[in-house]
Structure 1
Amino acid sequence: ELIKEYLLFRGYMQTFSVFTAEQNRDATRPARVGPILKNLLQHVERQELGALNELWRGLVSRVFSQLPAHKAKAAESLRESILKLYIVTAIKKNNPKAVEELFTLHASELTDPNNVNSEQWTAWLALKYVKDPRNDPRFASYFHQEWAELLEGSLRNVLDTAFREIPLPTLLAFKIHRLDQRQRQAEIRALKAKLEALQYTISPPAKTSISTPNVPQTPPVPLLPPPA
C-alpha cells in the first residue's frame, strides 16, 4: 500500500496500473495459510498444472528459502505428494491428457537418480498401462480420501510454520512499526488524561473566597452642643 500511495502521489499511473495487476496475480500476497492452501488445491482440482507449478515456485523462492535448511527440505518434499494428488485427480476425472502433460514436464526430474524417490516414480510412469490403479497395491492408498486429507493437513502445518518463522518484508515491517508508534502515542495520551483526572480527584483546586473591597469608613460626626 505504501508503494501504491507513492506511485499515485508522483503521478506514475502506468507503473501503478502494472504494479496493481501484478499484485492481483500474486497468489502468495496474502500471508495467510488458508487462501494459499485453497489456491494449491484448486489448481489440482481444476487440472491447472502451469498455475500449480508457478504458485509452488513462488512459495519456494519467497517463503521456504528463508527457512532453516532442514525445514525448507521438509516443505519442498511435499511437492511430490502434490504431484501424485494431481495424477490421482486426473485419473478420477478420466483425464489422461493431464497425466501425460505432467510426466512430459517432470519425468526426467522425478526419475533422476539423485531423487531418493526415483524408483517409486518409475512405477508411476507406468501408471497409464495399469488397467485399474485404484485396486493396484502400489497406488490404491493414494485414491483414498484419508490420504488426501492427510496431505492437506501436512501442507497446512508446513505453511503455518513457515509464515510464523520467516521475517516480515521490510515495507510491511515499517508499516507495522508506524502503526505501533501511533498506538503507543494514543496510549500515552490516554494515560496522561487519566493521570490528570486522578490528580484532580486527589487534590482538587483550592476554592477562592470572594472578599469584599475595603470601603473607607466615614469618620463619626461630632455632636455639637445645643445653642444657649
Structure 2
Amino acid sequence: MENMKYAEELVREFLFFRGFTSTLQSFDKELATDIGKDFHKDKIFDLIFSLYIPKFQPDNLISLLTFFKQCFSSSETLLISTLSKLEISILRYYIVNCVKLGRNDKIIEFFKVYGDDLMRKDQDWMIWSGIGYMKNPNLDPLFRVYFSKEWFDALNLSVRNFLSEIFNGNHILC
C-alpha cells in the first residue's frame, strides 16, 4: 500500500506542476471517496463483462488482460498460470457472446486481428476460428459447454475469485 501512496503523490505533484488545478481537485475528491482508496474488483469485472464483451471491444479486453500479465513478477507463477487460463476462457466467452448476438462479423474481425497470435500460443484456437461459419455451434459437441449457463457462471465466479485474490490479497499490482 506504501507504493500506492507514493504513486498518488507523484500524480498529485505532476498535476500541480502542470497547473491542472481542477484535475487535481477532482483527483483529491475521488481519493477521498471509497472509489479512490483501492482497486475495485467489481468495477474491473464490470469492465470485462458489461462493457468490453457486450460492446465488442476486444482491443480493450486484450489490453486489460495484457496489463495484468505485465504486473506480476516472474515468481508469481501460480497467478500468471491462472490468469492465462482465465484469458482463454474470457476470450472464448467473447466469441460465444458474438455468436449468441448473431455478430459473426465480429468473430471474423477478431480472428483477423488476433488469430495468428492466439494460434501460435495454442492450437485449439484453430477450431475456434471456424465457429463464425457454423450454423449452430451451440449444438456442436466441441462448443456446447461454452454456451451453457453453468460454464458462464463458473467463469464469472473464477474471474471474481481471481480479482479478489490479486486485489484483496498480498499482491500489489505493478
TM-score by length of 2: 0.76
Q: Does 1:166 align with 2:171?
A: yes
The 1:148/1:16 distance shift into structure 2, 3 A limit, reads same
**In the alignment, which residue of structure 2 is the partner of 1:179?**
none
Of residues 19, 26, 40, the one that matches 1:13 is 19
Q: State which of 89, 94, 105 in structure 2 corresponds to 1:97.
A: 105
Mark the runs of 5 or more structure 1 residues left unpaired by the alignment: 170-228
Aligned mates of 2:143, 2:104 — CA distance in 1: 16
Match of 1:142 in 2: 146
Q: Measured at CA, do residues 45 and 66 of structure 1 come closer, stay the same or move farther in structure 2, by a change above 3 Å? A: farther
Q: Which residue of 2 aligns with 1:3?
A: 10
- In the alignment, which of 70, 83, 87 is matched to residue 75 of structure 1? 83
The 3 A distance-change label for structure 1 pair 9 and 124 is: closer
Match of 1:53 in 2: 62
In 1, the alpha carbon distance for the partners of 2:173 and 2:59 equals 28
Aligned length: 156
1:194 matched residue in structure 2: none
Rounded to whole Å, the distance in 2 between the matches of 1:95 and 1:168 is 35
Provide the residue aligned with 2:129 in structure 1. Answer: 125
Q: Cα RMSD over matched residues?
A: 2.9
What corresponds to 1:180 in structure 2? Answer: none
- Structure 1 segments (4+ residues) deviating >6 Å: none
Cα distance in 1, alignment partners of residues 68 and 106 from structure 2: 23
Greater fraction helix? 2
SS at match of 2:129: helix
Q: State which of 96, 113, 138 in structure 2 corresponds to 1:88.
A: 96
Deviation at 1:107, TM superposition (A): 1.3
User: How far did residue 60 of structure 1 move?
Assistant: 1.7
In our comparison, the structure showing a higher alpha carbon Rg is 1
Distance of 2:46 and 2:146 partners within structure 1: 20
Per-residue displacement from partner, 1:145-178 (whole Å, max 9, x unpaired)?
Answer: 1111101111111121122132477xxxxxxxxx
After TM superposition, the score normalised by the length of structure 1 is 0.59
Residue number in structure 2 paired with 1:225: none
Please tell me whether the aligned partners of residues 7 and 15 of structure 1 are also in contact (alpha carbons under 8 angstroms). Answer: no
The C-alpha deviation readout for 1:158-202, integer Å capped at 9, x for no partner, is: 121122132477xxxxxxxxxxxxxxxxxxxxxxxxxxxxxxxxx
Per the alignment, residue 155 of structure 2 pairs with: 151
